[in-house]
Amino acid sequence: MKAIVFESGKLSFEGARPAPRPAPGEALIRVTLAGICRTDLEIALGYMGFSGIPGHEFVGVIEECGDERLNGKRVTGEINIPCGKCAYCRRRMGNHCPDRKVLGILGKDGAFAEYLTLPFKNLHPLPDSITDEEAVFIEPLASAYEILEQVRVDEDTRVCVLGDGRLGLLVAQVMAQTGCALLAVGRHEEKLSILKARGIPTRTSIEGLTRELDLVIDCTGSAEGIRTALDLVRPAGTVVVKTTVAGKSEIDLSRIVVDEIALIGSRCGPFQPAIQALEEKRVDVRPLVSKVFPIDEGVEAMRYAGEKGVLKALLKMA
């Protein structure tokens, strides 16, 4: 099969990589479309020490699984593969299983290839009303919904989303569902216009903002973001950190202690509300697609995805 491979610190296209074979309990999926995300770009810089096929945002078709009737079904899938036996797994916290594998991120080949395998229970069948281009956003959209699992947000909550990249634009749209008092801050008018079109107030600078926000969500993708968030959150407020950078960030811990700020890390989230939001057209991901590349040009696509101003680059397999 064709695949994009990251090995020995080098990213390359392979035209004849052996296709994976499904282990017991797994399905073989023919990938149709995959999304390139910041994590993939970080992986290509050495994040997680990953070696193999990256990619974890995908839509595909089941080719082979235990149940004949499911062959041919269009699916996307959850990316964490927990051991199923440890204390975390027994408490239904498989996303934190210390022995987990993660598709295209940790110990498991991912979606930048014509085929992948995933445990059958990780898969979510997709309604016809969701297109392939929308479906590749389900994984990152689920990670935006994770915030609502972690923090209570209602009409009275003053929320600020920092960052107008791929994730920031999804998080802002998810927050808007709650009816909260929302503000999105970014640097690019053209990206923020996607939110403006949906009635979400935006700004291109934090100048003039005072420390009165109940919840600040850092989606900047830079080490600076968390410091900005701490500058904006009110005493006893909450900062949610979505940014994953390979580098380290220095923050003022005294602000957190003295003002009793809750600092919450946030990663993967529930797929069902994400699928439902796309089905009911409550979230619009289509303006986020910048360009679709054939898998053969995957290395170029990864380079393009890291360019300034680019939102989402997709890889088409067929």
Site of interaction with Zn ion (CB under 5 A): 37, 39, 82-83, 86, 89, 97
The residue length of the chain stands at: 318
For residue 318, the minimal CB distance to Zn ion (Å) is 22
Measured from the CB atom, is 31 or 261 closer to Zn ion?
31
Q: ∠303-315-54 over CA atoms, to 5°?
A: 70
Alpha helices in 32-163 (DSSP H): 38-43, 87-90, 132-135, 138-150
Alpha helices in the chain (DSSP H): 38-43, 87-90, 132-135, 138-150, 166-176, 189-196, 225-232, 253-258, 271-279, 298-305
For residue 76, the minimal CB distance to Zn ion (Å) is 12
Measured from the CB atom, is 97 or 161 closer to Zn ion?
97
For residue 66, the minimal CB distance to Zn ion (Å) is 22
Measured from the CB atom, is 89 or 142 closer to Zn ion?
89
Measured from the CB atom, is 85 or 196 closer to Zn ion?
85
CA distances from 197 to 97, 135, 169, 255, 285 (A): 40, 22, 12, 36, 13
For residue 309, the minimal CB distance to Zn ion (Å) is 19
Q: What share of the chain is helix, strand, coil (3-state, %, to 5)?
A: 30, 30, 40
Measured from the CB atom, is 86 or 181 closer to Zn ion?
86
Tokens of 42: 């970080």
For residue 36, the minimal CB distance to Zn ion (Å) is 8
Measured from the CB atom, is 99 or 260 closer to Zn ion?
99
For residue 69, the minimal CB distance to Zn ion (Å) is 30
The distance from CA 32 to its chain's CA centroid, rounded to whole angstroms, is 18
For residue 287, the minimal CB distance to Zn ion (Å) is 18
Q: DSSP of 180-231, one letter per residue?
A: -EEEEE-S-HHHHHHHHTTT--EES--TT--S-EEEEEE-S-STTHHHHHHH
Would you give the DSSP letter of residue 260?
Answer: T
Measured from the CB atom, is 84 or 287 closer to Zn ion?
84
Tokens of 55: 């990619």
